[in-house]
Structure 1
Amino acid sequence: MTSASNEREPLLQRDAPHSAIDNDRKDGARRLGPLEITRSSRYGILAGLWTATFLSSLNATLVPTMLPSISSDFNKSNQASWLGTSYLLATCTFTPLYGRLCNVLGRRGANQTAVMFACLGTVFCGLSTSMEMLILARFIAGIGGGGIFTTSSIVISDMYSMRSRGLAQGVASVFNGLGMGFGGFFGGLITDWLGWRAAFLIQVPVFVLSFALTSFNLNYVTPGKGRSTKEVLKRIDYGGSVTLLIMVGSILFFLSTRYNEGLPWSHPTVIAPLVVAGVFAILFLVVELRFAPEPVLAPSLLKQRIPVLVGMSNFFVATCNFSVMYFFPMWFQTVLLTSASTAGLHLLPNSVSMSCGSVFAGWMMHRTGRYKMINLIFGAFPFLATVLIIQMKESSGPMQLWLSIIPLGFGNAVVLQTMLIALLAHLPESLMAVGTGFGQLFRGIGQVGGVAISSAIFQQALDSELRSRMHDIPDAEEMIMKIRHSARLVATLEPDVQRIARDSYAVSLKYVFIFASCSTLIAYIIRLPIPEKALEHKPPSDSRLERPSNGHEPFTSMPETPDESDSSSEIDGAVSDSDTEVLVRPGTKRVRRLSTYESCDGVMDLERDSAHTGHHNQRNRPRPLSQ
């Protein structure tokens, strides 16, 4: 068996029998499984994965402090929000597909595909000659950025036992946090020193290093026979992904043309994207509910109160987070006229507090077995932070300017952690992966919406403020357009015009922060009805079999892996499973999984062929990690 076919199934248990592993090479040498590789190989793999993870997180927060320089070079400040939304839109849309690519291309192939997209997108960013080219390049980089996180989590889950996996994922989160924390500062520092293009191009050698490390070390094989590439590719929800992409993209285009460009409602480029968004929203729902074999959105969870409340909370929390993250540095650059690097450094306390909040929430839930009280207490922190940010003035002291954002990161981290546990606590074990993906999908859309909606609010307010303050200035219309299209121009204006511009930016950004404050308040209210549920320490039951009431041979009502649902077709009657919607009636066979948008554990779909697994020896099979 070739390496590519073997890499489609992870080795989940250290005590898996070697007899089940067909990993002999043609030269007679047995290739090692993920738990058998040498320590140096494992560290080499981790170095490659975490290097790419750091760069992906860096790119998510790199742009905000570079926006004034980029928009000034292209004189299109009103389109600058697309640099953030295009990256997040690609990440949101393409991340679910990498689980399938891990089974088609193998672990190494899927990870290197993600790294390649991220690297190419970053190169094109540095070489862009127009704002449109730069936006497209950011989209390409986003395709790879989301895949890096997914494939890295899968490989870590391959290489570590269940007991050690938490620590390994924890260290991965440190690199993620470092990238998020230093993105704004790094972007501003390199922009001030070498220019914004260098901030992209300087990453390329590090991407190449990551690619080389995984090429040399990521050579382990995993047991079992996978399905054919053709069969796996058929299971990808292309219709759902494309309709979701077009729907969200059309909404973003509407917001840009109507508010960033200032076109009237009657203009065709304002009406058209609204119509397209409505049509594809309907198509998305039809595809997900009726046709997608493995929909990216789990329809059954939309009928349940707790998942819907958690999803809505995640949406508004992410909206608040990214509204502040993308416009907080701009306040310091346009109102206080600080350098880009100093403005970016103001985001660092937020990232540090987010890491502390995640650890604190996990420790408290582990210690007390409860989540609602800490959610109620610390969930109010983001609202407090936005109120403090709204009150910032040019005369504000260092304490308010540097520390007001800390409650935002800490509180939102606690909320996201506790809401994930609340969601999983109210779902059966078989739905944990699906539930995690359900919440993550709303969070991803909230990230895109946070940047797009806040940008529309900002541009509309800035245009209004400038017009009301500059009506008696010669060539006011031309000056207004220049100020809107180039934030960096503010520092070079004449003192009287500069004062007007700085005040206009201050008021406009305050509207953005008010929007963020309303978002986090709505999220808090939405979470109030979510009930408490004690978290137990005892592990899930090992029971795998259920005996039908007719006393026949036992069968597995929940397939051990998603692909084993084929075996359910042997059951005479209809079987409804919580993780796999299996509708089997005499003479028919229809299998629909609820979601391919899965957590870092559950995304490891083993692609196992039922002809090779059958129903025998159920207890000795590797257990799905989502259980």
Structure 2
Amino acid sequence: MVATERDSLLPTLDTSLPAARTNVERQLGPLEISRSTRFMILAGLWSATFLSALNTTLVATLLPSISSDFNKSNQASWLGTSYLLAHCTITPLYGRLSNVMGRRGANQLAVVSAALGTLACGLSGNMEVLIAARFLGGMGGGGIFTTSTIITSDMYSIRSRGLTQGVSNLFNGLGMGLGGPIGGLISDRFGWRWAFLIQMPLFILSLILTSYNLRYVTPGKGKSTKEVLKRIDYGGSITLLVAVGSFLVFLSTKYNEEQSWNHPLVITSLVLSGVFFLLFVIFELLIAPEPVLAPFLLRQKIPVLVGISNFLVAMCNFAVMYFFPTWFQTVALTSASTAGLHLLPNSMSMSIGSLFAGYLMHRTGKYKLLNLTFGILPFIGIVLITFMREDSGPLQMWLSIIPLGFGNAVVLQTMLIALLAHIPKSSMAVGTGFGQVFRGLGQVGGVAVSSAIFQSKLDSELRNRIHTPNAEEMINKIRHSARLVGSLPPDLQRAARDSYAISLRAVFTLAACSTFLAFLVRLPIPEKTLDDDEPVKQTNTITSPIGEESAIQTSPVSGEAVDDDDDDNDISPSLPRPVVRPRRRLSTFESVDGGLDLESDTVGGSARQR
């Protein structure tokens, strides 16, 4: 049929069809939503990101107070490692959950888990409950980071994403940097419980903002609930959890509690860690239908290099962040709140570094030169921190940490964009979770390994310096109570301060080696343009009276219909052409439509039926 100038420019549906057939369900995609809606979504995401980052470092200055209340100093390190353990082992699932539950569903699960864990921390009655609550909070905190990154990537092109992610990292940096100062100030004035309870209103605000505004639709074919549950990699998550958890038990038992190598718990935990790590690798490579580690990314050079860099950078970051305040409490003999305030320059520099990196990538479309230029700054900062002394000037004590925060913020920002630039758009959610696995493992390693080195070195240094009749008892008290150092007699205090200084220097040396290796690992990562290719087409649906679906492709910007070909076929010209999607076996394989495997045939992306 040849069109004439009298024909309508817009196709019309056959009026003889039932009303249900002509009812076009128009739902906006992530690139079509209004600016105000996008900003409300970002406000909800960033407030949760701030709280998640805050809880990561919050306990660094609360440990002495919590340990004194529960009289469980030997378990204090678990308050940090339990949060990070959940963070690194559960976080990878959210890359998958964002596909199978929808963006909003996965984000809501993360925020609710983090909020409940934080509330339980404030109400806990013993150390065991507090550690379990921290684990629950870590499950949600890691998911907040992953879902926020994925949702931001949905709503912005990769070049604009750098600037937007920079603002997101600003809140992340503020949270991590303010965790210590806020924890110390609230603990000194109101008690450590209020450091957790005061966060609840902001969690509720985040949940309201995202629940109301996060309703854009991503295209894809739905799956049944049974299929969704079968696609979760339970085996990989459990084996990774047991492997890392057993290794933490080994470090705690051997070095924090000073048990001998032939102690049953030391041997058992070390063997279990090795066995379950091997099982994790076997499960991911050979058994899991949709592994959390995404083996297809392990065969690619750039994702592996980015993953190793993330691991080493996170290890450096957390080794310093958890032990930097300790230096001021035990060597400089300041209060907990003052010790926490020394992390504030780190917070400010991380925020500025994130914005700086995002702005430059947005303007230039480049990241390699930026990474090489500023990626060496963390090593310089660690060297300055390592050589701090009791009589060091205020400039060195307050500003040495600035190069560390600024440089690591630039590195993490550029490495995220480099990873996303080198993988297919359809694998963006899985790739984000892949990067978080290595970053989470680095965070756990940074706290656990540095804690083991610190405790082992501190024990040997104290034994070399203290020879009083009750030396054994005094050494144990000094090791497990940082607040005790300031009240010791002058001779014992001198011995304790010197021992802490040497032990902390060993931790900072580990961090320096870690960040320098990370710089070397990043050198082979090539430059790649950040300009997007042709926009991905989105799919809206028309529901027939018998419940069948046909799909029409629309421009992600204008929402107008896009005709795939001009060939005649048997379908009426007044009806949209159906789109045939290939059958998926793994969620790491996505169709050219950029579709996601969703839990319903009629509800896609973040949208969920009420």
Aligned counterpart, 1:130? 126
Query: What SS is found at the alignment partner of 1:63?
Result: helix
> Do the aligned partners of residues 454 and 183 (structure 1) sit closer, same or farther apart at CA in structure 2, a change above 3 Å counting?
same
- Residue 191 of structure 1, aligned match among 184, 187, 191: 187
Residue 516 of structure 1 corresponds to which residue in structure 2?
A: 511
Pick one of 413, 417, 424 that aligns with 1:417: 413
> CA deviation digits over 1:564-592, x for unaligned, max 9?
x99546xxxxxxxxxxxx8xxxxxxxx34
Match of 1:356 among 347, 352, 358: 352
Write out per-residue CA displacement over residues 286-328 of structure 1, whole angstroms, 9 at most, x where no aligned residue: 1111111111112233344443333222211111111001100
Alpha-carbon distance between aligned partners in 1 of 2:387 and 2:342, rounded to the nearest angstrom: 16
Pair 1:501-2:496 in alignment? yes
Counterpart check, 1:536 vs 2:529? yes
- 1:433 and 1:104 map into 2 onto residues whose CA distance is 11
> Contact 2:93–2:292 (CA<8 Å) still a contact in 1?
no
Q: Which residue of 2 aligns with 1:476?
A: 471
Q: Which residue of 2 aligns with 1:606?
A: 596
Shift of 1:475: 1.0
Q: Any conservation in 1 of the 2:160–2:362 contact (CA below 8 Å)?
A: no
Quote how far apart the aligned CAs of 1:249 are: 0.9
Distance 1:524 1:37 in 2: 39
- Which of 160, 173, 191 is the equivalent residue of 1:177? 173
State the distance in 2 between where 1:274 and 1:77 align: 23
Cα deviation for residue 66 of structure 1 reads 1.3
User: Equivalent residue of 2:184, what SS?
Assistant: helix
Deviations 1:438-473 (A, max 9, x none): 3332121111101000000011111111111112x1
**Residue 294, structure 1, aligned to residue 290, structure 2:** yes
* 1:572 matched residue in structure 2: none
Specify the alignment match of 2:280 in structure 1: 284
Distance 1:308 1:50, change over 3 A: closer
Identify unmatched segments of 5+ residues in structure 1.
1-16, 545-552, 554-564, 570-581, 583-590, 597-601, 614-620, 623-627
Structure 1: distance between partners of 2:81 and 2:498: 27
Percent identical across equivalent pairs? 67
**Aligned-pair CA distance for 1:383:** 1.5
Q: Which has the higher contact order (CA 8 A, sep 6+)?
A: 2
Separation in structure 1 between the aligned mates of residue 89 and residue 267 of structure 2, nearest angstrom = 24
Alignment of 1:143-222 (within 5 A): 143-154=139-150, 169-214=165-210
Q: Where in structure 2 are the equivalents of 1:9-28 lying within 5 Å?
A: none
User: After alignment, is 404-413 or 322-331 more displaced?
Assistant: 404-413
8 Å contact from structure 2 (residues 218, 595) kept in 1: no
Shift in Å, 1:282: 1.3
Counterpart of 2:546 in structure 1 is none
What is the rounded CA distance, in whole Å, between the counterparts of 1:422 and 1:37 in structure 2? 27
Does the aligned pair in 1 maintain the 2:163–2:361 contact within 8 Å? no
Mapped pair 1:331 → 2:327: yes
State the SS of the aligned residue for 2:259. Answer: coil
**Matched-pair contact (CA < 8 Å) for 1:335–1:394:** yes
TM-score, normalised via structure 2 length: 0.79
Letter in 2 for 1:339: S
Matched residue type, 1:539: D
TM-superposition CA deviations, 1:505-527 (whole Å, max 9, x none): 11111111111111112222333
Letter in 2 for 1:606: L
The 3-state SS of whatever aligns with 1:129 is coil
- Equivalent in 267, 270, 294 of residue 266 of structure 2: 270
- Say if 1:378 and 1:304 are closer, same or farther in 2 by CA, change over 3 A: same
CA deviation after TM superposition for structure 1 residue 161, in Å: 8.1
- The 1-side partners of 2:111 and 2:258 are apart by 38
Deviation at 1:247, TM superposition (A): 0.8
Choose which of 330, 341, 349 in structure 1 pairs with 2:337: 341
Letter in 1 for 2:54: L
Report matched runs for 1:573-612 at 5 Å. 591-594=585-588, 606-607=596-597
For residue 156 of structure 1, report the CA deviation from its aligned partner.
5.1
Q: Which residue of 2 aligns with 1:261?
A: 257
Q: Which moved more, 1:72-81 or 1:165-174?
A: 165-174
1:402 has 2:424 as partner:
no
Task: State the secondary structure of the residue aligned to 2:61.
Answer: helix
2:239 touches 2:277 (CA, 8 Å); kept in 1? Answer: yes
Q: Which of residues 205, 219, 225 in structure 2 aligns to 1:229? A: 225
Q: CA deviation at 1:370?
A: 4.8
Q: Matched residue of 2:129: which SS?
A: helix
Q: Which amino acid is 2:483 matched to?
A: R
**CA deviation vs aligned residue, 1:529-565 (integer Å, no higher than 9, x gap):** x0543x3365325699xxxxxxxx9xxxxxxxxxxx9
Per the TM alignment, residue 433 of structure 1 is displaced from its structure 2 partner at its CA by 5.0
Counterpart-to-counterpart distance in 2, 1:155 and 1:368 = 23
CA displacement at 1:206 relative to structure 2: 3.0
Counterpart Cα distance in 1 of 2:521 and 2:137: 34
Q: CA–CA distance in 1 between the matches of 2:12 and 2:232? A: 31
Shift in alpha-carbon separation, 1:99–1:377, aligned structure 2, 3 A: closer
Whether the 8 Å contact between 1:122 and 1:138 is mirrored in structure 2 is yes
Shift of 1:416: 2.6
Q: Which moved more, 1:487-496 or 1:373-382?
A: 373-382
Partners of 2:474 and 2:430 lie apart in 1 by 52
RMSD over aligned Cα, in angstroms? Answer: 3.8
1:338-379 Cα shifts (integer Å, max 9, x gaps): 111211111121122222223333444555555444433322
Q: Is the 8 A contact 1:260 1:456 kept in 2?
A: yes
Distance 1:163 1:314, change over 3 A: closer
